[in-house]
Amino acid sequence: MTFRFAGAAAQVCKHCKFVVVRSDRNLAAVGRVADLVDIPSPLTLETTGRWGNEPFMVDGRVQLDRAGAPGAPWQEFFITFPQSGRWSWVASAQGRWYATTEAPLPPGGLPPLSALRPGGSVNLGPHGTWSVAETGRRRVVSAEGELPFVAAPGVATPFADIAGPNGAFGTIDYGDGQAIPPKLYLGRQIDPAVMQLDSGAPIEAAQAKVQSVSCPSCGGNLPLVAPETAERIVCRYCGMASDFKSGALQALRPAPRLNVQPVIPLGQEGYLRGNRVICIAFLVRGCTVDGERYRWREYLIYAGPRVGYLWLMEEDGSWKYITPIAPGDVQQLGGSVRFRGRTYHQKQANFAEVEQVVGELYWRVEVGEQVRAVEYSGPGGIVSVETAPTEVTVSFCEPMSWGEISKSFALPQNAGPPRMPSFGGSGSDAPQGASCGTIIFVVIILVVLVIALGFCGVGSGGGGSIGGPSFGGPSFGGGK
């Protein structure tokens, strides 16, 4: 077995799929990886190009999922620079691209994982103070090519994803507690245009083909708009909730049937603020304030692989357009936050709970799941922060008229802003600003955020997982 890149410490045998790690004295197999999942990407093994003025090669790829809650895997690419000998992890999620490299540990080492909480901050000495976006454990599912470090396939390793201002991103990888020590990876969101492929192909998120699956309960045909990230499907015909695995649905349990139909029908396509979009899911969420139950409605909108997921939220006939924010771009100031140089003051806080859901979702939504939602009101809208036990998601909610929405989705305009009927119980309509609704990752990470939004779901650091952002899946609760 030979290594092309001097900085690579592991290689996946293309014949037997064992991960082989090299040391100063010998080679050792540490485990066998599963077959690769077909996740579309413009980057493939041995792709070459130029990053700015420096040539690069895609030397390896790794796919990971969350330990304890396996879902749709995510992937990141080991990019090497032969001239300088340096390397980087590159990944995309929710239409955003990120790059991270290994950074020196701060004096005194890294804080223990138990000291970090989503939404809090962590001081990394000379690297500054960062916001904690997510904590958890993940594992290597599959890989190919060469890698700088890798935990044994299937071994769960803890991590914390962190975010800073202006697109800064990082991962603390706590290693496997044995052979692989903790490592720190820092980087930021990048413009993919910095990478020019020698093939001349554009660097952009590949468009997965829409596919259809059959509901395991009623046999209904359910088109999947984003099968590469879909994790849970709630049948629009019979209400059966299913997990999406290996191209098929696995039935779980029936979800509560909707007692109000979404104003934007599932599958309705449109053109919203410059993006081709389609409505793929509908949720009802609620909260209890002083013994009164208030509810609002949320629509998950898919805007293609370059933009990712957006949300529309309606309460009492008023609509909001919701976009993800990187947690590092919001500075906590006691009862206020700073975002884009402006101050937003806390308006209210409550626990938002999922009551009803239907459609295609990128996280394993459960009726009854809760997040703590805090809203900060200020110029142009609301900064919403939703915190779950393992992650935080942030979004910006701005008013949107029913006229713009109806025109975007070719819906009747003469009805005006629709007022939704009562769902029973006390308080069918939320008080003014009761919730800005579900928040996306990059995250993240999206957000995923996405965020929703953070690396909003790529696996983290080499050494325990693989160095890079944590894109594995959605944010909790409302899922943005």
Residue spans of the domains in the chain: they are 10-197
DSSP, residue by residue, 231-285:
-EEE-TTT-EEEEEETTEEEEEEEPPPPSS--SS-TT-EEEETTEEEEEEEEEEE
pLDDT score, position 229: 80
pLDDT score, position 454: 35
Residues in the chain: 480
Mean pLDDT across the stretch 48-70?
A: 88
Task: Tell me: pLDDT of 85 over 70.
Answer: yes
Mean pLDDT across the stretch 314-333?
A: 91
Q: Residue 407: phi, psi to the nearest 5?
A: -65, -40
Choose between 77 and 304: higher pLDDT: 77
**Cα 302 to Cα 209, 338, 345, 418, distances in angstroms:** 14, 28, 30, 22
Mean pLDDT, the chain, rounded, equals: 82
Which one-letter amino acid corresponds to residue 73?
P
Task: Tell me: pLDDT of 452 over 60.
Answer: no
Choose between 10 and 419: higher pLDDT: 10
pLDDT over 70 for what percent of the chain?
81
Q: How many CA atoms lie within 13 A of 408 on its CB side?
A: 21
Least confident range of 35-49, 176-190, 461-475 = 461-475
pLDDT over 90 for what percent of the chain?
49
> 52 falls in which pLDDT band (50, 70, 90)?
confident
Least confident range of 87-96, 142-151, 269-278, 429-438 = 429-438
Task: Tell me: pLDDT of 417 over 60.
Answer: no
DSSP, residue by residue, 202-231:
--SPPPPPPEEEE-TTT--EEEES-TTT--
Task: Tell me: pLDDT of 369 over 80.
Answer: yes
Helix, strand or coil, per DSSP, at residue 407: helix
> 113 falls in which pLDDT band (50, 70, 90)?
very high
> 192 falls in which pLDDT band (50, 70, 90)?
confident
> 128 falls in which pLDDT band (50, 70, 90)?
very high
Least confident range of 125-129, 257-261, 369-373 = 257-261
Task: Tell me: pLDDT of 411 over 70.
Answer: yes
pLDDT score, position 30: 76
With a threshold of 0.75, does the pTM exceed it?
yes
pLDDT score, position 268: 94
Joined tokens for residue 408: 């975007």
Distance CA 43, CA 39 (A): 11
Task: Tell me: pLDDT of 20 over 90.
Answer: no
Choose between 95 and 262: higher pLDDT: 262
Joined tokens for residue 76: 């990141």
Distance CA 278, CA 44 (A): 29
Choose between 115 and 419: higher pLDDT: 115
**Cα 472 to Cα 63, 156, 167, 269, distances in angstroms:** 10, 14, 18, 27
pLDDT score, position 265: 93
Mean pLDDT across the stretch 410-417?
A: 71
Mean pLDDT across the stretch 34-53?
A: 88
pLDDT score, position 27: 76
Of the candidates 359, 355, 352, which has an alpha carbon nearest to the alpha carbon of residue 423? 355
